[in-house]
């Protein structure tokens, strides 16, 4: 069976082409921009234009979760985050080079296709996408499976969250990649450092809830709170579910004065222990 998907975005028409999904006699699935050499032996169906998937060539791998297309358009891999590589603005984080190298090796000499979710671009004008190889390999998911990335779900883009969650649990259990690195181990909340920033893992017990105009806070103690945007509350169980229970919090730490806030956007970042 041969399925053709036409590219839709005119702005990228020079860099994308029709995508063919080919299922051979043994059931093996491949994706390619070339029609089958033996069309008489396949069933060809032209699908309606699919706004979610486009085929591209890659110019450069910037880091473990960002690539640059031939047209210089940056693409941020959706649903994941990898450790930072060194730059003028920040130091290298453990695992950053490993994630970048794995992605470079996976994409080398291959075309990719992009699958979009609810938002196609972020505020930095980067495309937001799930990235697949021609054989159907989902690179975002594979990075999680290898322990090279962790889940970073930002609503409304929640496609593939169940598969990501299963893969991350397996990688954690096997202590693959970052899950075996001392820098990414979970710590009790009383060990939070005064200079804590970036993605962190802590355990603590929420004591009460504070509601504000834009955010709701699970207050852990006088210095630390978990922040959830009110627009995202519908994705979470009732927040009082967490009160009085030991939970692991995974999120980005920020500090203002002597108080810390850990921002979480999806319930996968709050784990009852």
Does residue 148 register a pLDDT over 90? yes
Q: In terms of domains, do 191 and 157 share one?
A: no
For residue 95, pLDDT over 80 is answered with yes
For 218, the domain range is 186-272
Count of domains forming the chain: 2
Which of 21, 74, 126, 201 is catalytic? The answer is: 126
Q: What is the mean pLDDT of residues 150-159?
A: 95
- Of 150, 184, 218, the residue that ends a domain is 184
Residues 41 and 151 in one domain: yes
Q: Which two tokens stand for residue 158?
A: 């929640």
Q: Render pLDDT for 27-64 as a digit per residue (tens, 0 to 9).
A: 555 545 456 666 666 554 443 334 456 689 999 999 99
pTM (two decimals): 0.80
173 and 55 in a common domain: yes
- Does residue 84 carry a catalytic annotation? yes
119 catalytic, yes or no?
no
Summarised one tens digit per residue, pLDDT across range 238-252 is 999 999 999 999 999
Give the residue with greater pLDDT, 264 vs 18: 264
Q: Which candidate in 53, 76, 250, 265 is catalytic?
A: 76
Neighbour-count burial for 207-236, b at 16+ CB within 10 Å, e otherwise:
eebeeeeebbbbebeeebbbbbeeebeebb
| Cβ neighbours of residue 15 closer than 8 Å, sequence gap 6 or more | 56, 57, 69, 70, 71
Q: Which of 84, 93, 227, 265 is catalytic?
A: 84
């Amino acid at each position: 069976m041969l399925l053709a998907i036409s590219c839709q975005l005119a702005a990228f028409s020079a860099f994308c082409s029709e995508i063919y999904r080919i299922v051979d006699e043994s059931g093996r699935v491949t994706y390619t921009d070339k029609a089958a050499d033996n069309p008489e032996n396949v069933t060809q169906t032209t699908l309606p234009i699919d706004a979610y998937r486009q085929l591209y060539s890659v110019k450069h791998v910037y880091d473990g979760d960002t690539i640059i297309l031939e047209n210089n358009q940056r693409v941020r891999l959706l649903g994941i985050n990898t450790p930072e590589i060194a730059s003028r603005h920040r130091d290298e984080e453990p695992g950053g080079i490993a994630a970048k190298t794995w992605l470079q090796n996976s994409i080398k000499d291959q075309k990719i296709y992009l699958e979009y979710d609810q938002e196609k671009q972020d505020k930095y004008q980067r495309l937001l996408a799930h990235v697949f190889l021609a054989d159907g390999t989902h690179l975002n998911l594979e990075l999680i499976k290898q322990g090279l990335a962790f889940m970073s779900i930002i609503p409304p883009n929640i496609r593939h969250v169940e598969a990501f969650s299963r893969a991350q649990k397996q990688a954690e259990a096997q202590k693959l990649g970052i899950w075996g690195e001392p820098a990414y181990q979970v710590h009790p909340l009383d060990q939070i450092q005064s200079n804590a920033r970036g993605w962190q893992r802590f355990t603590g017990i929420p004591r009460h809830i504070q509601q504000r105009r834009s955010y709701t806070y699970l207050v852990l103690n006088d210095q630390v709170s978990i922040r959830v945007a009110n627009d995202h509350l519908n994705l979470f169980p009732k927040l009082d579910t967490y009160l009085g229970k030991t939970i692991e919090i995974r999120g980005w730490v920020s500090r203002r004065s002597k108080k810390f806030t850990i921002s979480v956007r999806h319930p996968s970042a709050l784990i009852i222990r």
